[in-house]
Structure formats: C-alpha cells, structure tokens
Chains A and B, each alone.
Chain A
Amino acid sequence: DTEVTQTPKHLVMGMTNKKSLKCEQHMGHRAMYWYKQKAKKPPELMFVYSYEKLSINESVPSRFSPECPNSSLLNLHLHALQPEDSALYLCASSQGDRANEQFFGPGTRLTVL
C-alpha cells in the first residue's frame, strides 16, 4: 500500500466550530507532515512528526493542534479558525527522518465561514 489517505475531502466550518482532519498511511513511514496550501502557491510546512514525536512546529497558531496517535495516523485538530485559514491542507509521509521523497495525500479542502 503506497497511499496516503485523508479525510474528509471537503470541510466547511464556522469560526466557533471544532473539527479534525485525519491522515493515514500504511507504508511504515516514520515521518509525517502537515502542509497548508493556498491557491496558486506552494505548500507551506506546518508540522512534522518524526517517530511519533513533534519535531517541527513552524510557528503555527494554537488554533491548529496536531496529534500523532500512532505511527500510521496523524490528526489536525481545528478550533476557532479564521476565514483566512481556508486552504487545502495536505498530509505527507516519508521514510526515515532525513531528506527523503515525501508521499502526499489528496488533501482536505477547508472553508471557514
């Protein structure tokens, strides 16, 4: 299985809602990533988990809260988001923890009203 899956595909939420994005991979990868991508822009790194521990937080606002329950799962908990947080949220994974190719999921299209 060489696939990264993400759910949901689309999410619309109000600024007072709490929601979660989910990501799963079964490739045995030990590094997992969250990216945010705005239209016509490159992906922006948000968080990196390496061996289930948070290794990089790119100064992301606390309204985004990542969680890595086990080596196959990655969640992104959302609370009190702003309309400018609307974007495509991409999950990725890679083997090991250095400089390897990353496998991306299809993304969750998030709209904050």
Chain B
Amino acid sequence: SQQGEEDPQALSIQEGENATMNCSYKTSINNLQWYRQNSGRGLVHLILIRSNEREKHSGRLRVTLDTSKKSSSLLITASRAADTASYFCATAALYGNNRLAFGKGNQVVVIP
C-alpha cells in the first residue's frame, strides 16, 4: 500500500528562519497533501498539490512535488512561534478511494 513517509526528523529553529521538511511515497498518487497538528488537537489542512503540479504556494508555505522521485517538500518561510507543531504529509492514491496514507510526521519547534 502507498505510504507518505517523511524523513523522521525533529526541527528546532529560531523565529524568522525557514523550515524545510521532506516526504517520500511509494506508489502513484492523485495528490499529496500537507497537514499541521498542534499538540493534542485536530489536524488542519495546509495545502494540496496534484500529481501534475510541480510547485504550489500558499502564504508562507511552498510545496514542491517530484513524481519521478516520489517525493515532496514543504518549506515554511519566516517561521513564527505559532508554527510550532507536527506536520504530516498524506497521499491520495491515483486509483484509490477516500483513503489518505499519512506519513510519520515532523515535529517543528520554533524558538522565539
């Protein structure tokens, strides 16, 4: 089964710096999505990039998708303390149903 799978890293950065995290997956996808989760709360959808797109921006977020390498990256520019959270990528299979395959998640801590 396909599985979005981030590099298992925890990032600790200073406010104002950029944060980059990566995600790899194994099978063909319809789209790839990024979600944020603050401690013990629900997930918030950040951005969706379709398989025919290579780059997408939303505010301070930049997502890239390389389908040949089956990988994606999420860049958060000019980080803020409020960006402290866990970030998950999730893939939707090309011929699948509603199922999203979530990656392991990256913990980002932004130090004020």
User: A: which residues have CB within 8 A of B?
Assistant: 4, 31, 33, 40-43, 45, 48, 50, 55-56, 88, 90, 92, 94, 97-99, 101-107, 109
Q: Is the pair B42, A102 in contact by a Cβ cutoff of 8 Å?
A: no
Q: Is the pair A56, B99 in contact by a Cβ cutoff of 8 Å?
A: yes
Add 4 more A-B contacts to A33-B98, A99-B96 (CB < 8 A).
Answer: A43-B88, A48-B97, A98-B30, A101-B48
Tier of interface size on chain B:
20 to 34
Q: Is the pair A102, B100 in contact by a Cβ cutoff of 8 Å?
A: yes
User: B: which residues have CB within 8 A of A?
Assistant: 30-31, 33, 35, 40-45, 48, 88, 92-93, 96-100, 102-105, 107
Q: With the chains together, A101 CA to B36 CA distance in Å? A: 13
Give B96 Cβ to nearest chain A Cβ, in Å: 7
- Chain A, residue nearest B42 (CB): A104
Give B51 Cβ to nearest chain A Cβ, in Å: 10
Q: With the chains together, A92 CA to B102 CA distance in Å? A: 14
Q: Is the pair A99, B30 in contact by a Cβ cutoff of 8 Å?
A: yes
Q: Is the pair A42, B105 in contact by a Cβ cutoff of 8 Å?
A: yes
Q: How many A-B residue pairs have CB under 8 A?
A: 64
Of the residues A31, A90, A109, contact of B43 by C-beta under 8 Å: A90
Q: Is the pair A97, B98 in contact by a Cβ cutoff of 8 Å?
A: yes
Q: Is the pair A48, B99 in contact by a Cβ cutoff of 8 Å?
A: yes
- Chain B, residue nearest A94 (CB): B98
CB neighbours of B43 from chain A (8 A): 43, 90, 92, 102, 104
Q: Is the pair B98, A98 in contact by a Cβ cutoff of 8 Å?
A: yes
A-B pairs with beta carbons under 8 Å apart, 16 shown? A31-B98, A41-B105, A42-B88, A43-B88, A50-B98, A55-B98, A56-B97, A90-B43, A99-B98, A101-B33, A102-B43, A103-B45, A104-B35, A104-B43, A106-B42, A107-B40
Of the residues B45, B92, B102, B103, contact of A99 by C-beta under 8 Å: B92
Give B34 Cβ to nearest chain A Cβ, in Å: 10
CB neighbours of A43 from chain B (8 A): 43, 88, 102
